[in-house]
Amino acid sequence: REFGLDRGRPIDRYYIEGFLARHAEDIRGRVLEIKDSSFTRKYGGGRVGVSDVLDVEESNRRATIVADLTRADDVPTDTFDCIICTQTLHFIYDISAAVRTLGRILKPGGILLATFPGIGQTGCAKLDEHYCWALSTLAARRLWEEAFPGTNVEIEAPGSGTLVRIH
């Protein structure tokens, strides 16, 4: 019921944090993270010049950008050196539009680090009314390669879900 927090660190966090730690050097310059900046602070350190937080909810006091990823027209194109998008996109029904937005706002040569769940809890009322997608590695690859043609798409599926690095 507590996503494993009542027994220690949840298994998905183990894989997500390992993924981000392996790619910590990518977290630099102007960085965008969804909901809060905890991973930017933890893994970016002094390499981060500007840290932005995007949330759809205006009530999030940590958010420097309030926008819906499916139609974030007010977020300038080619803005971010790195985008960290963990455990978010599966809640967005128009996932393709959200991924296209991420592609638009990422600077040329920028890095996008994204994760999707695979073995985490989904059977609770808190998530059930918002959870839209469970992606196979094939679906994730097609989604990202379509939105980021000509870029290097790396997909890992260590058992916790899908880890994506675009560069």
Divide the 167 residues of the chain into consecutive groups of 10 and give the mean pLDDT of each group: 58 87 98 98 97 97 96 95 94 95 96 81 54 80 91 84 87
3-state helix, strand, coil in the chain (%, to 5): 35, 25, 35
pLDDT, one tens digit per residue, over 35-82 is: 999 999 999 999 999 999 999 999 999 999 999 999 999 999 999 999
Alpha-carbon span 164 to 167, nearest angstrom: 10
* H or E segment to which residue 138 belongs: helix 137-147
Pick the closest to residue 86 from 149, 27, 148 (CA basis).
27
Give the chain's mean pLDDT. Answer: 88
- Rg (the chain; Cα; Å): 15
Alpha-carbon span 24 to 57, nearest angstrom: 28
Cβ(156)–Cβ(19) under 8 Å? Answer: yes
Global pTM value: 0.89
